Structure 1
Amino acid sequence: MEILSSAYDLLIGYIVPFLFVLTIVVFFHELGHFAVARWCRVKVDAFSVGFGKELFGFTDRQGTRWKLSAIPLGGYVKFAGDENAASVPDRDRIAAMSEEERATAFVAKPVWQRAAVVAAGPIANFILAVAIFAAIFGFFGRTVIAPVVETIQAGSAAEKAGLQSGDLILAIDGKPIETFADMQRIVSVSAEIPLDLEIERGNTVQTITVTPEYRELTDRFGNVQRLGLLGISRSPQDDDLIQQTFGPLEAISEGAKETVYIAERTVDYLWGVISGREAADQIGGPIRVAQVSGQVATQGILPLLSLAAVLSVSIGLLNLMPIPMLDGGHLVYYFAEAVRGKPLSENIQDIGFRIGIAIVLLLMVFATWNDVMHLTRL
Structure 2
Amino acid sequence: METFIAVVIIFGLLISFHEFGHLLLAKRAGILCREFAIGFGPKLFSIKKKETVYTLRLLPIGGFVRMAGEDPEVIELKPGHRIGLLFNPQQMVSKIIINQLNKYPNAKVITVDSADLERDLYIQGYEEEYGERLTFSVDRKAEYVTDGQEFQIAPLDRQFGSKSVFDRILTIFAGPFNNFLLALIVFIIMFLLQGVPSDKPVLGKLTADDPATKAGLHQGDRVLTINGNAIESFSEIASYINKRPNKDLTIKVERDNNIKTFHVTTAKNEQGQGIIGVQQPFEKSVGKSIKMSFTQSYSMIKLELQALKQLVTGAIGIDQLSGPVGIYTITGQVVNYGIFMIMQWTAMLSINLGIVNLLPLPALDGGRLLFLFAEALRGKPVDPKKETLVHFIGFALLMLLMIVVTWNDIQKIFM
Note closer, same or farther for the CA distance 1:237–1:300 as it changes in structure 2 (3 Å cut).
Answer: closer
2:346 is matched with 308
2:156 is matched with 102
Structure 1 vs Structure 2: percent identity of aligned residues? 29
1:233 is matched with 273
**2: CA distance, partners of 1:120 / 1:19:** 23
**2: CA distance, partners of 1:310 / 1:359:** 25
Q: Aligned-pair distance for 1:91?
A: 10
1:5 is matched with none
Note closer, same or farther for the CA distance 1:179–1:314 as it changes in structure 2 (3 Å cut).
Answer: farther
**1:10-38 alpha-carbon deviations (Å, 9 max, x no partner):** xx132211111111100000011111111
1:125 is matched with 179
2:112 is matched with none
2:33 is matched with 44
Per the alignment, in what secondary structure is the counterpart of residue 369 of structure 2?
helix
Per the alignment, in what secondary structure is the counterpart of residue 275 of structure 2?
coil
**1:33-67 alpha-carbon deviations (Å, 9 max, x no partner):** 11111111111100111111111120002x10011
Note closer, same or farther for the CA distance 1:241–1:296 as it changes in structure 2 (3 Å cut).
Answer: closer
Q: Aligned-pair distance for 1:271?
A: 1.2
2:169 is matched with 115
Moved more, 138-147 or 122-131: 138-147
**2: CA distance, partners of 1:34 / 1:352:** 24
**Residue 244 (structure 1) aligned to one of 279, 283, 303:** 283
2:190 is matched with 136
1:26 is matched with 15
Note closer, same or farther for the CA distance 1:304–1:324 as it changes in structure 2 (3 Å cut).
Answer: same
Note closer, same or farther for the CA distance 1:244–1:82 as it changes in structure 2 (3 Å cut).
Answer: same
* 2:36–2:64 contact (8 Å) kept in structure 1: yes
Larger radius of gyration: 2
| Paired residues for 1:169-248 under 5 Å | 233-235=273-275, 241-247=280-286
More strand by share: 2
Point out where structure 1 has 5 or more consecutive residues left out of the alignment: 1-11, 84-88, 148-165, 168-176, 184-229
**1:228-278 alpha-carbon deviations (Å, 9 max, x no partner):** xx956352565x83323332x432221121112111111111211221222
**2: CA distance, partners of 1:303 / 1:25:** 16
**1: CA distance, partners of 2:349 / 2:76:** 36
**2: CA distance, partners of 1:332 / 1:275:** 22
Per the alignment, in what secondary structure is the counterpart of residue 54 of structure 1?
strand
**1: CA distance, partners of 2:383 / 2:74:** 13
1:69 aligns with 2:108: no
Moved more, 18-27 or 287-296: 287-296
**Residue 46 (structure 2) aligned to one of 51, 57, 62:** 57
**1: CA distance, partners of 2:385 / 2:75:** 15
TM-score, length-scaled by structure 2? 0.63
**2: CA distance, partners of 1:40 / 1:25:** 23
Q: Aligned-pair distance for 1:302?
A: 2.1
Per the alignment, in what secondary structure is the counterpart of residue 281 of structure 2?
strand
1:281 is matched with 319
* 2:318–2:405 contact (8 Å) kept in structure 1: no
**2: CA distance, partners of 1:321 / 1:375:** 29
**1:299-318 alpha-carbon deviations (Å, 9 max, x no partner):** 22222122111110011111
**1:115-165 alpha-carbon deviations (Å, 9 max, x no partner):** 000000000000000010011112221346789xxxxxxxxxxxxxxxxxx
Q: Aligned-pair distance for 1:361?
A: 1.3
**Residue 355 (structure 1) aligned to one of 368, 374, 393:** 393
Per the alignment, in what secondary structure is the counterpart of residue 322 of structure 2?
coil
Greater relative CO, 1 or 2 (CA 8 Å, sep 6+): 1
TM-score, length-scaled by structure 1? 0.69
**1: CA distance, partners of 2:57 / 2:9:** 15
Note closer, same or farther for the CA distance 1:263–1:98 as it changes in structure 2 (3 Å cut).
Answer: same
* 1:14–1:294 contact (8 Å) kept in structure 2: yes
Note closer, same or farther for the CA distance 1:57–1:350 as it changes in structure 2 (3 Å cut).
Answer: closer
Point out where structure 2 has 5 or more consecutive residues left out of the alignment: 78-114, 120-139, 141-154, 202-227, 240-269
* 1:21–1:305 contact (8 Å) kept in structure 2: no
**Residue 297 (structure 1) aligned to one of 329, 335, 339:** 335
**2: CA distance, partners of 1:275 / 1:146:** 42
**1: CA distance, partners of 2:395 / 2:315:** 27
* 1:81–1:93 contact (8 Å) kept in structure 2: no
Q: Aligned-pair distance for 1:341?
A: 0.2
**2: CA distance, partners of 1:268 / 1:236:** 34
1:35 aligns with 2:73: no
1:342 is matched with 380
Q: Aligned-pair distance for 1:179?
A: 5.3
More helix by share: 1
**2: CA distance, partners of 1:143 / 1:266:** 23
**2: CA distance, partners of 1:59 / 1:109:** 25
**2: CA distance, partners of 1:284 / 1:237:** 32
1:216 is matched with none
Note closer, same or farther for the CA distance 1:96–1:231 as it changes in structure 2 (3 Å cut).
Answer: farther
